[in-house]
């Protein structure tokens, strides 16, 4: 890549403009197609086109074309307003100012002007404007943390390292894909359209009314004994009776959606709400299944250290001062008894202080946390970093669990004060700095469910391999013990997230042998990942179990009354989480996802078809109980008994899926929609850095003087809007009453206000009213005679 190689040398700007115009024109055609794919609009289009035939003309052409054009214009304007909002959001993002490095120095450019080959300086807390290669950072440790919440919704900080050979960039320019300025979502799709639930129902009711029109027209022609050109008479009767299907219905529906979306955006009880589309607000009243994650949704994703377990003794929040005293006692011992002793035999029983120290030391070293220092107004950043100022230090990590663990080690006396790619520094209670060299680090992955680090203490030369991870994988790695599984279960039942910490001392020869095999595996061309994992697993044997840590993820504010309200409203809430079974069950109880007096059926682990069949039969005999199932058992059930499992699960008042992979969560959402046909709402953790500006439009009609023909053009379009607006703005139940009695929501789930029965009743009422008016008119005329 050559610095300054712009987009003009890679892609012709004229070609880009031509492509944009082509997409815009295709968007216009797609809008018209989306409008006329509804039978409702297609019906009135055919009526308007029939007026070009002289034998079928009932009056001036504008009496049919003007109302149709108005109806389409309202719908298109509504969609255009949403696209304009999207355009304004994109424009706001593309107008952000960045610093670009050129041969003449640093210049300010808009993000929309950044081209392929530009060297861009991204400041702290600034959005990354495009697909970019991380070349250099101002941080001394050569690392950077970023969030990808705009792409995948994950709000955790992710560690990124710069290119090691940045100073020797190649000079050859290479073709590159165009930069992506935003996440690939529906908002970046030109003229994206969504079909609402009411749109489908109105479309079906329109077909029913049209069938009724055909029947009535046939009856009228039959009464005339099919005289003359009876087929033209049928078409003329269809035209005469066309007002039975109100052309203003779509306009009223669109207006109602706009008003509802505006009211949602302006609701003072939910400030900051952004309505991305006004097409489907009515579907919020038809939700039957609510699927939610645990971390960050039901909980705050703010971790607090709660428990340290050493096997024979456990320390809770009320006994952390004892842990602190053990750490202090280690560093107040005589010099001949250092904190970590090399060569002590395993027959000598460790003192409690040394056991606590080894556990805290392992927690303080086995992580991916990086301390950074910021100016606090009194001490500048450089001075704070030099002096390891506590008030200026901020911990950054990809997981809040690790931050909570490191903050806890700081509270008991062992503080992480510095870290870069190759070293770590810990500060003891006495103020001494312990330096460690990072030899290898094995990051956490969802497949491995553990992470490890190999460090060398500079003062003693000891090499230690620390590892922490989930109990399901660590149980086969650590040395045999009789308390790990039981205590993990006990802590998980308290709602704590449990991690197992272990260590293994290595000699210099052992490490050199491992490093040679590890480097050779990483240089392999074929099956590199498998070979690297095999080498690491050779080191993960007979490790010494240090401790168990319990971290609590605090519940969201008012999550309990919220879930109770949703349950009383008739919604079934499913929790899909990656935590272990005991933790997920405890969280479900604490959050009142499962009521206190409700039975819980824990689906036994199954591995084959026969076991799944027996367990499903056992579950079938239970009634009105919540279901708790693990991801492995869920995979087996969906593989062999997909229909049977979904049928039983949908009958449960609540379902908890633990150890659930992201792909399984997506599969459950899809199956619920396909099997039940009911509306499903999935809630995930997406925290935007800053809310985009929201622009709203209100359509209204000013009073205009009447003129000849106004009733013909505007009666079925304008006058019938006012009853609908009164219906939209009218509330049969106050908001306070609706929140107090959530059972009222169950009536909406049944769809009674727009069911076929309700539709038939209103048709019969209209027929009765029409006959009454005709009878009244006939009697009035007869009396006048």
Angstrom distance (rounded) from CA 683 to CA 282:
18
Q: Are 115 and 7 in contact (CB under 8 A)?
A: yes
Beta partners for 467?
452, 502
Angstrom distance (rounded) from CA 593 to CA 587:
8
Map tokens 């165009």 to a residue: 178
What's the token pair of residue 768?
A: 């009765």
> Helix %, strand %, coil % for the chain, to 5?
50, 20, 35
Q: Which of 118, 199, 254, 293 is catalytic?
A: 293
Exposure of 568 by Cβ count < 10 A (0-12 exposed, 13-18 middle, 19+ buried)? middle
Residue 512 dihedral angles phi and psi, to the nearest 5°: -65, -40
Angstrom distance (rounded) from CA 454 to CA 515:
11
Angstrom distance (rounded) from CA 232 to CA 239:
11
Element of type H or E holding 327? helix 320-330
- What's the chain's Rg over C-alpha atoms? 35
Map tokens 């709400």 to a residue: 273
Exposure of 450 by Cβ count < 10 A (0-12 exposed, 13-18 middle, 19+ buried)? buried
3-state secondary structure of 158: strand
Q: Are 451 and 444 in contact (CB under 8 A)?
A: yes
Question: For residue 406, which of 427, 388, 422 has the smallest C-alpha distance?
Answer: 427
How far CA 66 is from CA of 54, 144, 488, 519, in Å, comes to 19, 60, 72, 76
Angstrom distance (rounded) from CA 698 to CA 42:
27
Sorted by sequence, the CB contacts under 8 Å of residue 478 that are 6+ apart come out as 484, 500, 502, 542, 543, 544, 545
- Among this protein's residues, is 293 annotated catalytic? yes
Element of type H or E holding 672? helix 662-676
What's the token pair of residue 486?
A: 């039981």
Question: For residue 90, which of 190, 17, 193 has the smallest C-alpha distance?
Answer: 190
Angstrom distance (rounded) from CA 498 to CA 490:
10
Q: Are 680 and 686 in contact (CB under 8 A)?
A: no
Angstrom distance (rounded) from CA 315 to CA 307:
6
**DSSP annotation of 478:** B
Angstrom distance (rounded) from CA 497 to CA 492:
6
Looking from the CA of 618 toward its CB, the CA atoms found within 13 Å total: 12
Angstrom distance (rounded) from CA 438 to CA 452:
11
3-state secondary structure of 512: helix
Angstrom distance (rounded) from CA 423 to CA 158:
19
Count CB atoms within 10 A of the CB of residue 570. Answer: 17
Angstrom distance (rounded) from CA 317 to CA 321:
9
E strands along 273-334, which residues?
287-292, 299-309, 314-315
Question: For residue 533, which of 657, 432, 620, 447 has the smallest C-alpha distance?
Answer: 447
Q: Max alpha carbon distance in the chain (Å)? A: 128
Enzyme catalytic residues: 293
């Amino acid at each position: 890549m050559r610095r300054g190689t712009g987009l003009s040398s890679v892609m012709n700007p004229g070609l880009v403009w031509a492509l944009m115009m082509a997409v815009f024109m295709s968007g216009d055609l797609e809008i018209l197609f989306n409008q006329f794919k509804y039978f409702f609009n297609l019906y009135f289009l055919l009526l308007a086109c029939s007026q070009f035939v002289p034998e079928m003309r009932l009056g001036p052409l504008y009496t049919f074309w003007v109302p149709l054009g108005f109806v389409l214009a309202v719908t298109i304007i509504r969609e255009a307003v949403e696209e304009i909002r999207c355009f304004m959001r994109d424009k706001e993002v593309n107008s952000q100012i960045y610093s670009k490095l050129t041969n003449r120095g640093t210049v300010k450019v808009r993000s929309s002007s950044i081209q392929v080959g530009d060297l861009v300086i991204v400041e702290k807390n600034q959005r990354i404007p495009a697909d970019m290669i991380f070349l250099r950072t101002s941080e001394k440790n050569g690392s950077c943390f970023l969030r990808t919440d705009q792409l995948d919704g994950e709000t955790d900080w992710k560690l990124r390292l710069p290119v090691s050979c940045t100073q020797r960039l190649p000079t050859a320019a290479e073709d590159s894909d165009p930069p992506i300025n935003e996440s690939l979502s529906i908002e970046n799709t030109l003229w994206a359209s969504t079909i609402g639930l009411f749109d489908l129902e109105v479309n079906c009711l329109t077909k029913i009314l049209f069938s009724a029109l055909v029947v009535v027209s046939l009856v009228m022609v039959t009464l005339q004994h099919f005289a003359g050109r009876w087929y033209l008479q049928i078409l003329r009767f269809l035209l005469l009776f066309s007002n039975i299907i109100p052309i203003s219905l779509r306009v009223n529906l669109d207006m109602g959606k706009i008003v509802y979306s505006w009211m949602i955006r302006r609701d003072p009880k939910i400030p900051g709400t952004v309505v991305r589309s006004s097409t489907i607000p009515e579907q919020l009243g038809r939700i039957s299944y609510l699927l939610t994650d645990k971390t960050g949704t039901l909980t705050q994703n703010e971790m607090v250290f709660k428990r340290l377990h050493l096997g024979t003794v456990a320390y809770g929040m009320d006994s952390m001062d004892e842990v602190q005293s053990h750490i202090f006692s280690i560093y107040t011992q005589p010099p001949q008894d250092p904190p970590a002793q090399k060569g002590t035999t395993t027959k000598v029983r460790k003192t409690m202080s040394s056991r606590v120290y080894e556990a805290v030391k392992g927690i303080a070293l086995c992580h991916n946390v990086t301390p950074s220092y910021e100016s606090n107004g009194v001490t500048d950043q450089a001075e704070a970093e030099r002096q390891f100022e506590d008030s200026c230090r901020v911990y950054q990590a990809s997981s809040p669990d690790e931050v909570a663990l490191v903050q806890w080690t700081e509270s008991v006396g062992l503080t992480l004060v510095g870290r870069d790619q190759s070293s770590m520094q810990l500060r003891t209670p006495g103020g001494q700095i312990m330096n460690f060299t990072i030899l290898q680090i094995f990051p956490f992955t969802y497949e491995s469910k553990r992470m490890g680090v190999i460090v060398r203490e500079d003062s003693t030369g000891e090499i230690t391999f620390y590892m922490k991870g989930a109990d399901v994988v660590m149980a086969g790695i650590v040395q045999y013990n009789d308390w790990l599984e039981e205590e993990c279960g006990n802590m998980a039942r308290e709602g704590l997230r449990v991690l197992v910490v272990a260590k293994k001392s290595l000699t210099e020869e052992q490490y050199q042998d491992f490093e040679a095999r590890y480097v050779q595996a990483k240089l392999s061309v074929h099956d590199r990942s498998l070979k690297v994992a095999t080498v690491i697993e050779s080191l993960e044997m007979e490790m010494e179990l240090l401790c168990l840590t319990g971290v609590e993820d605090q519940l969201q504010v008012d999550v309990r009354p919220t879930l109770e309200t949703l349950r009383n409203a008739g919604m079934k809430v499913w929790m899909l989480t990656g935590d272990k079974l005991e933790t997920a069950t405890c969280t479900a109880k604490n959050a009142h996802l499962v009521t206190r007096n409700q039975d819980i059926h824990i689906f036994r682990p199954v591995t084959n078809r026969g076991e799944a069949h027996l367990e499903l039969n056992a579950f079938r005999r239970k009634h009105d109980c919540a279901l708790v199932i693990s991801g492995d058992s869920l995979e087996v059930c969906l593989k062999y008994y997909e229909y049977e499992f979904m049928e039983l699960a949908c009958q449960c008042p609540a379902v908890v899926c633990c150890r659930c992979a992201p792909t399984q969560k997506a599969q459950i959402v899809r199956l619920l929609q396909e099997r039940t046909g009911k509306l499903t709402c999935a809630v995930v953790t997406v925290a935007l850095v800053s809310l985009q500006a929201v622009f709203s439009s209100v359509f209204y009609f000013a009073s205009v003087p009447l003129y000849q023909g106004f009733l013909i053009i505007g009666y079925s379009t304008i006058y019938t809007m006012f009853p609908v607006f009164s219906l939209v703005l009218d509330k049969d139940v106050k908001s306070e009453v609706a929140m107090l009695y959530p059972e009222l929501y169950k009536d909406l789930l049944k769809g009674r206000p727009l069911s076929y029965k309700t539709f038939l009743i209103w048709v019969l009422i209209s027929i009765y009213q029409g006959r009454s008016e005709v009878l009244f008119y006939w009697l009035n005329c007869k009396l006048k005679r």
